[in-house]
Structure 1
Amino acid sequence: MSDLIDAPLFGENAPEFTVSEISGAIKRVIEGEFGRVRVRGEVGRVFRARSGHLYFDIKDDRCVLASVTWKGQVGALSALPEEGMEVVATGKLTTFGSQSKYQLNVEDLRPAGVGALMAMLEKRKKALEAEGLFAAERKRPLPFLPEVIGVVTSPSGAVIRDILHRLRDRFPRKVLVWPVAVQGQSCAAEVARAIEGFNRLTPGGALPRPDLLIVARGGGSIEDLWGFNEEVVARAAAASEIPLISAVGHETDTTLIDYVSDHRAPTPTAAAELAVPVRMELLAWTDQQGARLTRAMTQGLSLRGQRLRDLSRALPRPESLLDPARQRLDWLDARLPAALKALAQTRRGRLTELAAVLRPATLRSRVTAENQRLHHLPPRLDAALARTRRQSQDSFAKCAARLSPLPIRREIDRKRKELDKLSARLTPCYESRIRTARDRLDGLERLRVTLGYEATLQRGYAVVWSGDHVLTTKGAAEQAPALEIQFRDGRLALGKTQKKRKPSDPSPEQGSLL
């Protein structure tokens, strides 16, 4: 049989390849013919593995091209792929031999035109709005006069000069500039890090934390401003604990950071005007308020003085208020000596009455009476104590009579007789219950024997055992290591020595019972 398979056919001289050889040959052909290509299409499924590699599909109306960007290449992409976005991908074709497929290794990815950028921007805007990042209740009020202002912009452009000039003209403040790239691939990451960096500063530290942030950039095309439409910038602005003013582009330019910031300025110069008031206007307003306060104070004092004078004219003279009290004092002064004399005479009469009652003879008679009463008390006390002792002795004797041994024995005998009667009644009842339970148990045993499989064995049936388990199917019997068949008069052990026969094998002449 092997000779027939190995023998070459007549005239056959084609070389033989291994799977790895043919896969490598295809890889070299594809990578040689398509070393670097640009592909335009719509992004389909997007998947980012735990390893950091990015897998996605680029498709048109008929075909799908599997694409991959390795972990080290993801940071260099101009835009990350999103499902439904039309893009132009640049890279090289290669193969993945383990799955017999070819794929595009994408090194650069750009949206295909302004229309695709606007569609992607609208999609991001709806997603962030659904999360509530645009809600008005999240907006914080701007500080009236911030001490330190943080500016996130390019240090070499005209924007920072306009902001500093406008702040110096209106109200000079301390300004911290965080230099960033305002366009290009690194723009979004640098702006997000700058916002987060300002928020991490310690208030009152060596480098003070700003009271207000301004994110500014001059005008440009949508591609130039695209860094401020990235989701990482929008989320960093929304998470900022410092109030933030966005001043990106001209008045007609709108980016995602404008929706999540606490206030939007049409231009960087307008952002500086929103950040601080005009110092001269504040001084003039302060002078006006001081003048108004002085006038109000003078007028208030004048009105209250006039009111006081009007009320004083309605009051009576002080002499007229004191005359009745002075007259009453003179009247009481005239009556006081006579009143004192009358009170002294009254008290003297009362003292005389009390002195008549408290004569020495009366006191001596009261003391004698009390002494006689005290001499009569000891004989009465002895009699009372003796009477109480006799009553206690009688009560104790009665209790001792009740607790004598004879009544206790009588009570014990009575309780023993009652116990014997209960025992005599309990024994027949207990035996009857035992007989009933035994009869019921015998009936259950007969029912068990009748319904058990041993009775079935008496009628010519058998039970197949595997260890302690009963087998009821053919498949279980084939998988069992050893079998036992239980008949009516005992068990028969069987050894399994024959393999399972295939349908194509000839029927054996002799085998096991199964």
Structure 2
Amino acid sequence: MDLPDDTRSGLLANVAAGDNSPALSVSELSGALKRTIETAFGQVRVRGEISGFKRHGSGHCYFTLKDENACIDAVIWRTSAGALAFRPEDGAEVIATGRLTTYPGRSKYQIVVERMELAGEGALLALLEKRRKALAAEGLFDTSRKRRLPFFPRLIGVVTSPTGAVIRDILHRLEDRCPTHVILWPVPVQGDGAAARIADAIRGFASLSQKPDLLIVARGGGSIEDLWAFNEEEVVRAAAESPIPLISAVGHETDTTLIDHAADLRAPTPTAAAELAVPVRAELFAQLGELGHRAQHCLSRRTERARERLELTACRWPEPQAIIAPHVQYIDELGERLPRSLAARASHARADMNLVTGRLRRDLIDQRIAQLTDRLAAAWRMAELAHPERPLAKGYVRVTSRGGATLTSSAQARAERSVTLRFGDGAVDATIDGQKVSPTVERKARTSYNPPQPGLFDEAKE
């Protein structure tokens, strides 16, 4: 069957004159779609579950909202992301308010979220339970991590609002129980940015040069939305990582937040936290008084019992005179025997001394004579060796003046002119510088090699 000419496709596009539907470019069509969608859906609210949530380095957030049948891409610009009252995460059911737009680069449409809330209290509780399980799986809530609180903290750090009744209740209770130094780190306890401020305060106390001995993170009661800042992950991690023991006092007794699980101790109220932080000073004084009274009573009883035992023992002792009398008698006997014993001992010693005195005196004299004889012989030998005439026997000559003074230099000999030459067997007179004189030979006795002189005590020794 043949088609009409105007519907039959050809090789070239057929543009008829006066055609009111000209061909659009891709950009023109994308722009038209963008204007149409943004005009028709300028303000929408969408309920769905967050999936694939990702925070870009620029601060923008990208994710998908989905239900059981469909999904839509979503984006939160940085300015809007900072104003969210909670931290989005996968699995949270939310209601997003914003506007639809298209992304021409990929022919996709998306919702630009300007505000986002959790979809009812059930969704909030579901998110809370999911976060609790995830943090518990990391061990942040283990009881083994809990530390004992200091018994008497000298400095307490408090993280709370500076304008609420909480700080006044804490200070008033501390003043009543035991006045203590307190450092307040003021923070907002709900609303935008509260979680980050609370976490920074907990970490800030740990970086102080004078660290508190104890921390109290406190807030008054409120709804789950009001207390949500204390369920945020960054607050819980800051509490778990705190090197300072921490008491959580958020809300009233029935309120429970995740920081309660990470803290070292949970207090039902801020006032109770102050009571748990310090003891009662009056009770301490009373206990000290009681302990002092008991110690005094115990000391008195012990002294009394010791006195009773002493008296009982003393009654069983014999008379002192009966104990001492035998020893006194023995001492008297020793006193009488001692002079006689000393006299006898002295008599025996005197007899022994008289017996050996004669032999001892002769032996000592002979020994002394032998020592002196040996010393004299040694001195005589030394004198022979040192005698000035000894070298003359070997051919040496000693030159002296006519008066007998020894001349030791040629100058002295020339000055004397007439000298005497002393040989081993005699002396010869001589004249200096060739002046001849009749030599006169003088015989003298030999002074060397004389026979040894007898010892001083030789005769006595014989």
* TM score, norm. by length of structure 1: 0.63
Provide the residue aligned with 1:80 in structure 2.
87
1:123 and 2:130 aligned: yes
How many residue pairs get aligned? The number is: 360
Would the alpha carbon gap of residues 361 and 16 (structure 1) be closer, same or farther in structure 2, given more than 3 Å must change?
A: closer
Alpha-carbon distance between aligned partners in 2 of 1:321 and 1:295, rounded to the nearest angstrom: 45
User: CA distance change for structure 1 residues 180 and 361 in 2, over 3 Å: closer, same or farther?
Assistant: closer
Quote how far apart the aligned CAs of 1:261 are. Answer: 0.9
Give the superposition deviation at 1:240. Answer: 1.7
> Retained in 1: the 8 A contact 2:99–2:112?
yes
Q: CA deviation at 1:328?
A: 3.7
**Structure 1 residue aligned with 2:61, among 54, 73, 79?**
54
**Corresponding residue for 2:102?**
95
Among candidates 108, 131, 135, match of residue 142 of structure 2: 135
Q: Which runs of 5+ in 1 are unaligned?
A: 204-208, 372-514
Q: Which residues of 2 match residues 50-449 of structure 1 at below 5 A?
A: 50-203=57-210, 209-311=211-313, 314=317, 317=320, 319-320=324-325, 323=328, 324-325=330-331, 327-328=333-334, 330-350=336-356, 352-353=358-359, 360=366
SS, match of residue 105 in structure 2: helix
State the secondary structure of the residue aligned to 1:178. Answer: strand
| Maintained 8 Å contact 1:214/1:244 | yes
Name the SS of the counterpart of 1:98 in structure 2. Answer: coil
- Deviation readout 1:373-423 (Å, 9 max, x if unpaired): xxxxxxxxxxxxxxxxxxxxxxxxxxxxxxxxxxxxxxxxxxxxxxxxxxx
Residues in 2 aligned to 1:35 and 1:321: alpha-carbon distance in whole angstroms: 127
CA deviation vs aligned residue, 1:267-297 (integer Å, no higher than 9, x gap): 2221122122223222222221121122222
1:47 aligned partner, one-letter code: K
The one-letter code sitting in structure 1 at the alignment partner of 2:64 is D
Q: Deviations over 1:166-198 (max 9, x none)?
A: 222222323333322222223212222222222
Q: Secondary structure at the match of 2:192?
A: coil
Cα distance, 1:100 vs. partner? Answer: 2.1
Q: Secondary structure at the residue paired with 1:342? A: helix
Look up the SS of the partner of 1:216 in the other structure: strand
Q: 1:357 to 1:145 in 2, by over 3 A?
A: closer
Report which structure shows greater RCO (CA 8 Å, sep ≥6).
2
The one-letter code sitting in structure 2 at the alignment partner of 1:100 is: S
Alpha-carbon shift at residue 338 of structure 1 (Å): 1.9
CA distance in 1, matches of 2:290, 2:367: 102
Q: Is the 8 A contact 2:44 2:97 kept in 1?
A: yes
Q: Aligned partners of 1:18 and 1:303: how far apart in 2?
A: 115
Q: Kindly tell me: are residues 230 and 356 of structure 1, through their superposed partners in 2, closer, same or farther at Cα, counting changes over 3 Å?
A: same
SS in 2 for 1:150: strand
How far apart in 2 are the matches of 1:266 and 1:362? 112
* Mapped contact 1:148–1:176 kept (Cα < 8 A): yes
Name the SS of the counterpart of 2:51 in structure 1.
strand
Q: Distance in 1 between matches of 2:182 and 2:367?
A: 113
> Once the 2 structures are TM-superposed, how far is the Cα of residue 321 of structure 1 from its aligned partner?
7.9
Whole-angstrom distance in 1 between the partners of 2:43 and 2:262:
40
Higher helix share: 1
Could you report, residue by residue, the CA deviation over 1:297-339 in whole angstroms, capped at 9, with x for unpaired residues? 2222333344445555648737448524564455344312321
My pick for the range that moved more, 342-351 or 236-245, is 342-351
Q: Residue 188 of structure 2 contacts residue 197 of structure 2 at CA under 8 Å; is this kept in 1?
A: yes
For 1:108, what is the secondary structure of its paired residue? strand
1:18-33 equivalences under 5 Å are 18-33=25-40
The answer to whether the 8 A contact 1:77-1:107 is kept is no
* Paired residues of 1:35 and 1:92 also in contact (CA < 8 A): yes
Please give the root-mean-square deviation of Cα atoms over the aligned residues, in Å: 3.2
Distance in 2 between the 1:165 and 1:9 partners? 91
Q: Secondary structure at the match of 1:23?
A: helix
Looking at structure 2, the residues matched to 265 and 201 of structure 1 have their Cα atoms a distance apart, in angstroms, of 25
**Structure 1 CA distance for aligned equivalents of residues 354 and 127 of structure 2:** 118
Instruction: Give TM-score scaled by structure 2 length.
Output: 0.69
SS at match of 1:252: coil
Residue 211 of structure 1: how far off its partner (Å): 2.3
Contact kept in structure 2, 1:80 and 1:109, CA below 8 Å: no
Structure 1 residues 296 and 9 mapped into 2: Cα distance closer, same or farther (>3 Å)? same
* 1:81 counterpart letter in structure 2: P
CA distance in 1, matches of 2:74, 2:308: 93
Question: What is the CA distance between 1:40 and its match in structure 2?
Answer: 0.5
Aligned to 2:14: 9
Cα distance, 1:352 vs structure 2: 4.6
Instruction: Report the more deviating stretch, 288-297 or 257-266.
Output: 288-297
What letter is aligned with 1:232? E
> 1:356 offset after TM fit, Å?
6.3
Q: What displacement does 1:72 show?
A: 3.5
Cα pair distance change 1:131/1:10, threshold 3 Å: closer
1:472-511: CA deviations, max 9, x gaps? xxxxxxxxxxxxxxxxxxxxxxxxxxxxxxxxxxxxxxxx
Percent identity over paired residues: 51
Change beyond 3 A, Cα 1:359–1:192: closer
- Alpha-carbon distance in structure 1 between the residues aligned to 2:262 and 2:354: 102
Say if 1:78 and 1:108, in contact at 8 Å, map to a contact too.
no
CA displacement at 1:85 relative to structure 2: 1.3
Partner amino acid, structure 2, of 1:187: A
CA distance in 2, matches of 1:131, 1:286: 45
TM-aligned CA distance change 1:10 to 1:294, over 3 Å: closer
Which moves more between the two structures, 346-355 or 93-102?
346-355
Alignment partner of 1:99: what SS? Answer: coil
